[in-house]
Amino acid sequence: MNNNIIIKTRKTKAIVKDLEIEFEEKYCMDETGNEVYVKEIEMENDVNLYDIYKKQKGLLTSEQVKKIRNKYHLTQKDFAFSIGLGEITIHRIENGTIQTESINTVIRLSNDPSNMKDLIIKNSSNISDDCYERTMKILNEIIKLKSHKIANINCNEIINVDFCTADLFDVANAVILKYNSNVDKISSNYKIETEYITNLKLQKLLYYVQGISRALFKKNAFNDAIFAWKHGPVVSKAYDTYKNGHNSVKATESTYEVSEGLSLIIDAVINSYGKISAYSLIDITHEEEPWKFVAINNEIAIDLLQDYFEKVYIECE
């Protein structure tokens, strides 16, 4: 593109099929103030216009289709063949073409790795053996990661909430007090005895609070190190403080101070991982990269923790 071209925007209206759409149109001016035609800008305008139409009609946008395809590391051609579409169908859609409802349904189905696995098996004769094997490996890895997405968190909503790193014992107190409060409610409502949180379980919940905090906010829930012990991840400083054999533990204080975002993550962890027994949590953490990839008794690097939980809670969306 000519360096002397100035790109501006203006509100304009256009008819797409049955809809009149208002959108921000880009246009180009030369150094003399005359409007000039630039193919790349016009193509970008078309994609933006058609994406607005797609959103209003409940269709996947060009970027959403591209994101699904990239998740499986497939070319446009191989992705199309894998889900039973024509050779250039995905190319056209990613470049702005409006897909039919039926094609949109197939692409939307492929976003779920289990559905994608069924589709690629069904259409395996359309792709090379190498592509099939490579994609099946990726699918199996994603499906395994997805099975570890236990907390029910709306990532798009929670990332806009205020989040601040807190003192380790404020986080631990929040986990203990909230967990034990839930136990009291269950005991009262259902007249059954349920045990309060143990140190073993506390360590696992702190690990998940830290991991999900790093994935969603790119910040620590607390700044203390987590170590890969024999029975899973442990915050050694907290472990030493709450050491009580196999007995339940109590908070060191009756209050705690954590931000709204951190509080929401703690609630989500307690309401999901907290329902799983401590010994089952040991087994789950042993299957996860942060523990598997670190030598026993060594510190789990915060980058490793973040990378793993991003894969589970963001990339598996």
Whole-model pTM: value is 0.75
Q: Residue 1: its pLDDT value, please?
A: 55
Phi and psi (nearest 5°) for 161?
A: -90, 150
pLDDT at 254: 84
Distance CA(56)–CA(48), nearest Å, equals 13
Q: Can you give the C-alpha Rg of the chain in angstroms?
A: 25
Quickly tell me which residue has 């009262």 as its tokens. Answer: 188
* Distance from C-alpha of 194 to C-alpha of 184, rounded to nearest angstrom: 8
Nearest to 259 by CA among 154, 176, 174: 174
Assess contact for 248 and 166: CB atoms under 8 A. no
Amino acid at 242: Y
User: Residue 72's CB: how many other CB atoms inside 10 A?
Assistant: 20
Helix (H, G, I), strand (E, B) or coil at 146: helix
User: Hey, what amino acid is at 39?
Assistant: K
User: Quick one: how far is CA 138 from the chain centroid?
Assistant: 16
How far, in Å, CA of 58 to CA of 46, rounded? 18
Check residue 298 and report its DSSP letter. S
Task: Write the CB contacts of 275 (distance below 8 Å, at least 6 apart in sequence).
Answer: none
Angle between helix 168-190 and 260-270 (nearest 10): 50
CB 168 within 8 A of CB 236: no
Two structure tokens written together for 220: 């620590």
Q: By three-state DSSP, how is residue 141 classified?
A: helix
User: pLDDT tens digits, the chain, 317 residues: what are they?
Assistant: 566 889 999 999 999 988 999 999 999 999 888 999 999 999 999 999 999 999 999 999 999 999 999 999 999 999 999 999 999 999 999 999 999 999 999 999 999 999 999 999 999 999 999 999 999 999 999 998 888 999 988 887 888 899 999 999 999 999 999 999 989 887 777 666 678 999 999 999 999 999 999 999 999 999 999 999 999 999 999 999 998 877 889 888 888 999 999 999 999 999 999 999 999 999 999 999 999 999 999 999 999 999 999 999 988 66
Helix (H) or strand (E) holding 11: strand 6-16
Q: Return the closest-CA partner of residue 269 out of 158, 194, 113.
A: 158
Position 317 scores a pLDDT of 63
Could you tell me if 304 and 228 are in contact, meaning their C-beta atoms sit under 8 angstroms apart?
no
